[in-house]
């Protein structure tokens, strides 16, 4: 694992790591994080928090992603409308049967070309083809599967894709808190970071005991600290 350098920064690595964790883990604004640190006696501007998230968030997410176990071979694909600077865009998302976010892609179209781009990226990043793909009834998916020669079983039944549709909820909360995404590039960058950190701390606590949830949470915190380790 490549360690991250915190040289030439005014604040110690532990403060920077905690600021990035707060912003990416919870539905907070940069100013909310500034206020939380101010309550603890640290004068950190929201602009510093923003710069830390941009600089270190991607590095943390990349390290965490490389250490994640292989996802399930049943994939759920979905797309949802988002408005960015008054322009209609689509947020394409892929999750596995356990709710692990595989990838997020912001695109301007909802057609076969856009579906092809998402699936090609998924296959390249995951390194294997799924056994089952669940989508809505958008015909672009079937056309893209045929072009790629993907032989996975394709399901489009009602309620079958609730897993992917429910996974949009955390992003919708962040979108409202941020008062909308400012550009497709910034949305893609933030959501790529957010999805990886969401995966790490998503323990599905409603399905497990309190004791097991504590264990999973402790493991997630330990993994976060290793990913954010200073040089």
- Give 36-63 pLDDT, tens digit per residue: 999 999 999 999 999 999 999 999 999 9
Is 193 part of any domain? no
Domain co-membership, 78 together with 173: yes
**Residue with token string 């049967």:** 97
Domain co-membership, 135 together with 222: no
Domain co-membership, 114 together with 93: yes
pLDDT-derived band at 230 (thresholds 50, 70, 90) equals low
DSSP E strands, 113-196: 132-134, 153-155
CA distance 115 to 11: 43
Is 102 part of any domain? yes
Q: Give the per-residue pLDDT at 77.
A: 96
Domain co-membership, 78 together with 178: yes
Is 88 part of any domain? yes
Q: Give the per-residue pLDDT at 75.
A: 96
Domain co-membership, 176 together with 219: no
The half-sphere exposure of 29 on its side-chain side, counting CA atoms within 13 A, is 10
Domain co-membership, 49 together with 86: no
**Mean pLDDT to the nearest integer, 74-79:** 96
**Mean pLDDT to the nearest integer, 112-134:** 95
Range of the domain at 55: 13-67+205-227
pLDDT-derived band at 2 (thresholds 50, 70, 90) equals low
Is 198 part of any domain? no
Query: What Å distances lie between residue 209 and 57, 150, 185, 218, CA to CA?
Result: 31, 39, 40, 14
Number of domains in the chain: 2
- pTM value is 0.89
- Give 164-214 pLDDT, tens digit per residue: 888 889 899 999 999 899 999 999 999 999 999 999 998 888 888 999 999
Domain co-membership, 147 together with 81: yes
């Amino acid at each position: 694992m490549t360690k991250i350098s915190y040289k030439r920064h005014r604040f110690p690595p532990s403060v920077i790591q905690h600021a990035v964790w707060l912003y990416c883990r919870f539905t907070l604004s940069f100013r909310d994080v500034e206020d939380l640190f101010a309550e603890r006696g640290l004068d950190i501007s929201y602009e510093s928090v923003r710069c830390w998230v941009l600089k270190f968030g991607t590095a943390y997410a990349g390290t965490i992603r490389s250490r994640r176990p292989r996802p399930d071979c049943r994939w759920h694909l979905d797309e949802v409308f988002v408005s960015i600077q008054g322009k209609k865009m689509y947020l394409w998302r892929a999750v596995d049967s356990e709710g692990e976010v595989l990838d997020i892609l912001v695109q301007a179209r909802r057609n076969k070309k856009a579906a092809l781009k998402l699936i090609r990226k998924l296959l390249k990043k995951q390194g294997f083809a799924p056994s089952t793909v669940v989508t809505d009834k958008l015909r672009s998916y079937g056309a893209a599967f045929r072009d790629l020669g993907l032989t996975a079983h394709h399901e489009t039944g009602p309620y079958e894709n609730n897993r992917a549709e429910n996974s949009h909820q955390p992003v919708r909360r962040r979108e409202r808190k941020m008062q909308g995404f400012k550009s497709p590039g910034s949305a893609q960058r933030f959501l790529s970071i957010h999805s990886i950190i969401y995966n790490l701390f998503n323990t599905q606590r409603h399905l497990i005991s309190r004791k097991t949830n504590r264990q999973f949470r402790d493991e997630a915190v330990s993994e976060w600290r290793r990913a954010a380790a200073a040089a």
